[in-house]
Amino acid sequence: MEVTITNENFSTLKNGNLPLVVDFWATWCGPCRMVSPIISELAEVYDGKVVVAKCDVEENEDLAAEFGIRNIPTILFFKGGEVVNKLVGAQAKAKIDEAIQQLL
């Protein structure tokens, strides 16, 4: 299941027992809309193994700034509370899936 990241729940999710994948996006971003269904699909595939989340950069500017998000979509991969991988721009499903596999 896909989760929505907020300033309030981010720290708990980042430091949780499961790896975390965060898609930084915005409603007006065309490439973000292309990646969104892929993120949703992978959230279902990895349910219970990885937390897959979306973070609207306009609603959570502090988080975007904290991680230096300058281009969207940007997908960050967290393990043990630390960023271990990053994909910037629209990516193929296979590439995102491969990055998630590396978290497991």
Which one is catalytic: 5, 22, 29, 55?
Answer: 29
Kindly give, in sequence order, each residue whose CB lies less than 8 Å from that of residue 6, ignoring residues fewer than 6 positions away.
59, 60
Which one is catalytic: 5, 32, 38, 63?
Answer: 32
Does the annotation count 32 as an active-site position? yes
Does the annotation count 55 as an active-site position? no
Active site residues: 29, 32
